[in-house]
Structure 1
Amino acid sequence: MKGKNELRVSLIQTSLEWENPQANLAAFSDKFKQLKGKTDLVIIPEMFTTGFSMKPQGIASDEKIYTYLKTRAAEGNFAIYGSSMLKKSDGSFVNRGLFATPEGDLFIYDKRHTFTLAGEQKVYDKGGKPVMAEYLGWKFNLQICYDLRFPVYARNTQDYDVVIYVANWPVLRVNAWDALLKARAIENMAYSIGVNRVGTDGTGMNYNGHSQVYNILGKEMIDHPWETDGVKTVILKKSEIEKYREKLRFLGDRDAFTLDL
């Protein structure tokens, strides 16, 4: 696959129909059609089929969601990353990140840090190691929501280019979202992208988005704050990563240690 210096990335910040996969899939299909041929990567929120529900019985995705994302990616000629509640073959559930490419490749990441404040650990199995998706010569570290609070887990030991967080991050703690996304970019010398939802979910929790892209120096690439339903597209540059990593060799001074995952 030929690499690209400039990568167009589109963030879909939207409300979600509570525990209604059919409605959400239809809505995202329409949004994907509008981006056909206009971008290289589309990022959508956490649990994009249902909202952040702790009741997956009867509404969790199965492996048909793989086909849905691969098909939409092929139709639009762009990759897609988001997460969905998913029922595994043994009957257990996971919050599964899915990165689908138009060529039919699929990278799977199960959320490592389940959100104990909401009891997510009681419903969904937690994942293991981080997953790196490779596409168009770029390497993406796939993360989900609560993972953002754990910087060691995103530590850039694999020379990734972009760390992506998809989320249902509420208004109550959005200041932390803003600060931590920026920190992940600066400390890892990589682009940091966070895609959050807007609206109110079925539990009464409110969300105001603040989806954002930070460059390698921690500079915002989207006017802040972004709190409405919509799509924003930014251009990432591989040459910018290479330029600043060569000039500012902070990653070479990383402490050496391994994680017990």
Structure 2
Amino acid sequence: MRAAAIQLSVTDDQSPSARRDAVAEAVRAEARRGAELVLLPEMWLPGFFGFDSYAALAEPLDGPTARLLGELAAECGIRCCAGSIVERAPEGLYNTALLFDRDGSLAARYRKIHLFGYGSRERALLTRGSEVVTCELGGIRFGISTCYDLRFPELYRAAAEQGAECFLVVAAWPFPRLDAWRCLARARAIENQAGLLGCNTAGRQGSGVFAGSSLAFDAWGTPLGELDDRPGVLRVELEPERIRAARREFTALDDRVLNRLG
């Protein structure tokens, strides 16, 4: 499956409508280049650091941003992991990642489980999700996660136990912890013998600087590509049979002991 991670620049000088237009143009361009799966970063509409606009830009799952990405998926005949939105639900606001199938239908919704509190208002403003989410599209079972989740390996192991073969990570990872982004993403791929495609944000929003460096690893932890800190597109081939072959050859997942004790 040909995949494209679109590393957007999120800055304070662009309106939400202009950002939606730019995203639509970028998605169509990647579809024309042959992408079968397009991945967007976390909270690209308000920007992760745009805490004051979370409530104003929150929307239900049939709101304007979700409709736009579903319509784009159907128009282009692609699968689209639409990054994440501020989802408005009766019980509160969520940081919600959306995955659309080629017909524009919503195939999966993941509400971010681990909300960030270190120098961030995310934890104060949003409600924590509670479900591990995997979804099979195009013959690959994907596990969906968001940014800070990378620091919690138990989430990825739970997704692997549900059959996940490749992790999609939408992120707004800051520049000061760039090394952790690379290290943790690679570790999650290696320890679960899974592919990983991470789409991060670029640019500066207020006092926050995003790291960029969208990246991909195969099931051995071998790097498949990485961007720099500027806007751009990371294009990779996701090969499920190579993941399955790695698991058959090196049976680390079958050799686990601690999960069987007790």
Q: TM-score, normalised by structure 2?
A: 0.90
Q: Which runs of 5+ in 1 are unaligned?
A: 1-6
What secondary structure, in the 3-state scheme, does the structure 2 residue paired with 1:208 have? coil
What secondary structure, in the 3-state scheme, does the structure 2 residue paired with 1:58 have? helix
* Alignment match, 1:16: 10
Q: Which residue of the other structure, out of 208, 212, 218, is the alignment partner of 1:209?
A: 212
* Alignment match, 1:178: 182
* Alignment match, 1:47: 43
Whole-angstrom CA distance in 2 between matches of 1:39 and 1:255: 40
Displacement of 1:196 after TM fit?
Answer: 0.6
Task: Kindly provide the amino acid, as one letter, of the partner of residue 78 in structure 2.
Answer: F
Task: Kindly provide the amino acid, as one letter, of the partner of residue 73 in structure 1.
Answer: A
CA contact 1:60–1:86 (8 Å) conserved in 2 = yes
Q: Which runs of 5+ in 2 are unaligned?
A: none
Task: Kindly provide the amino acid, as one letter, of the partner of residue 41 in structure 1.
Answer: L
CA contact 2:227–2:233 (8 Å) conserved in 1 = no
* Alignment match, 2:116: 115
Task: Kindly provide the amino acid, as one letter, of the partner of residue 114 in structure 1.
Answer: L
Q: Which residue of the other structure, out of 240, 243, 246, is the alignment partner of 1:241?
A: 243
CA contact 1:36–1:75 (8 Å) conserved in 2 = no
Whole-angstrom CA distance in 2 between matches of 1:232 and 1:33: 15
* Alignment match, 1:96: 96
Displacement of 1:257 after TM fit?
Answer: 4.2
* Alignment match, 2:229: 227
Whole-angstrom CA distance in 2 between matches of 1:249 and 1:22: 49
| 144-153 or 55-64: bigger deviation | 55-64
CA contact 1:70–1:100 (8 Å) conserved in 2 = yes
What secondary structure, in the 3-state scheme, does the structure 1 residue paired with 2:9 have? coil
Give the total of aligned pairs.
249
* Alignment match, 1:3: none
Displacement of 1:230 after TM fit?
Answer: 1.1
* Alignment match, 1:4: none
What secondary structure, in the 3-state scheme, does the structure 2 residue paired with 1:241 have? helix
Alignment pair present for 1:71 and 2:75: no
Displacement of 1:104 after TM fit?
Answer: 2.9
Whole-angstrom CA distance in 2 between matches of 1:213 and 1:104: 25
CA contact 2:72–2:104 (8 Å) conserved in 1 = no
Alignment pair present for 1:34 and 2:38: no
What secondary structure, in the 3-state scheme, does the structure 2 residue paired with 1:86 have? strand
Aligned-pair identity (%): 30
Q: Aligned in 2, Cα 1:74/1:142: closer, same or farther, shift over 3 Å?
A: same
Task: Kindly provide the amino acid, as one letter, of the partner of residue 4 in structure 2.
Answer: S
Higher helix residue share: 2
CA contact 1:13–1:209 (8 Å) conserved in 2 = yes
Q: TM-score, normalised by structure 1?
A: 0.90
What secondary structure, in the 3-state scheme, does the structure 1 residue paired with 2:80 have? strand
Could you report, residue by residue, the CA deviation over 1:166-187 in whole angstroms, capped at 9, with x for unpaired residues? 1111110111000000001100
Could you report, residue by residue, the CA deviation over 1:146-184 in whole angstroms, capped at 9, with x for unpaired residues? 100000111021221111111111110111000000001
CA contact 1:17–1:23 (8 Å) conserved in 2 = no
| 8-17 or 136-145: bigger deviation | 8-17
What secondary structure, in the 3-state scheme, does the structure 2 residue paired with 1:125 have? coil
Could you report, residue by residue, the CA deviation over 1:15-55 in whole angstroms, capped at 9, with x for unpaired residues? 02438321211110110121224111101100011110322
Whole-angstrom CA distance in 1 between matches of 2:72 and 2:11: 20
Could you report, residue by residue, the CA deviation over 1:180-228 in whole angstroms, capped at 9, with x for unpaired residues? 00001100000011111111013x1111311100001111111x45222
* Alignment match, 1:139: 141
Whole-angstrom CA distance in 1 between matches of 2:249 and 2:37: 28
Whole-angstrom CA distance in 2 between matches of 1:57 and 1:123: 9
* Alignment match, 2:256: 254
Task: Kindly provide the amino acid, as one letter, of the partner of residue 252 in structure 2.
Answer: F
What secondary structure, in the 3-state scheme, does the structure 1 residue paired with 2:210 have? strand
